[in-house]
Amino acid sequence: MTRWGVVFPDEWAVIRTGPRGQRQIGQLVAAMQGADPDAVRALEGQLRGMAGQLDAAGVDVLASLVLPVGDGTAVSAVCAVAVVALDDPSPDALRRLAESGPHPGGARRTSRTELPLGPASRSASERLAVELTGASGTAPIQAEVRYVVRIDDGVVLILHFETLSVAYLTELSDVFDAVAGTARLA
């Protein structure tokens, strides 16, 4: 399979799956020498379990961003990166895949964009995340931006970003676009 890479800024925490992710977790655990052994074992088990679940779900990389904001709140976002088979590499097929994320439908803005890997589909939407309804009975607004670009015959790269920090969506969209712009073949 074609090797690819995406560069996340230093503020993002990145968990990989597969053998590379297992090595990364092993290095993290080794660096924690001197910490409480029970805590290290628990963290290792949690990280290995999460990486295994992500791998089973077809996610190659999960990245998370949390930045404190001056008023005591934080701006946060996540990005799942996956490589999937797609027999039809046409622009229409890329568009359909971009629009068919975990929360399809709704008011979407889908456009063609150019990434270093080639033409891509970018689909963005906001929705009321009713599954996250709090004790107050209100649901937050969740924004999603999804990029789909062909990386090889029959293979596409998907970058799926989500955030509940919609007050900062303009700035986050710029960050999402910048991260998508780093996607390269290795």
Say how far apart CA 113 and CA 122 lie, in whole Å: 7
**Domain ranges in the chain?**
9-57, 66-186
Helix (H) or strand (E) holding 93: helix 91-99
- Give dist(CA 98, CA 158) in Å, integer: 8
Residue-level pLDDT at 173: 94
Q: pTM for this structure? A: 0.85
Per-residue confidence (pLDDT) for residue 36, from 0 to 100: 81
pLDDT of 69 reads 82
Q: What is the pLDDT of residue 72?
A: 77
Per-residue pLDDT for the chain (186 aa), expressed as one digit of tens each? 567 889 999 998 888 888 877 888 888 778 877 778 887 787 788 778 778 777 777 888 888 888 888 787 888 899 999 998 888 878 999 999 999 888 877 789 999 999 999 999 999 999 888 888 888 888 888 899 999 999 888 899 999 999 988 988 999 999 999 999 999 987
Q: What is the pLDDT of residue 45?
A: 80
- Rounded to a whole number of angstroms, the distance between the first and last alpha carbons of the chain is 11
CATH tag for 66-186 (out of 3.30.70, 3.40.1000, 1.10.1060, 3.30.390):
3.40.1000
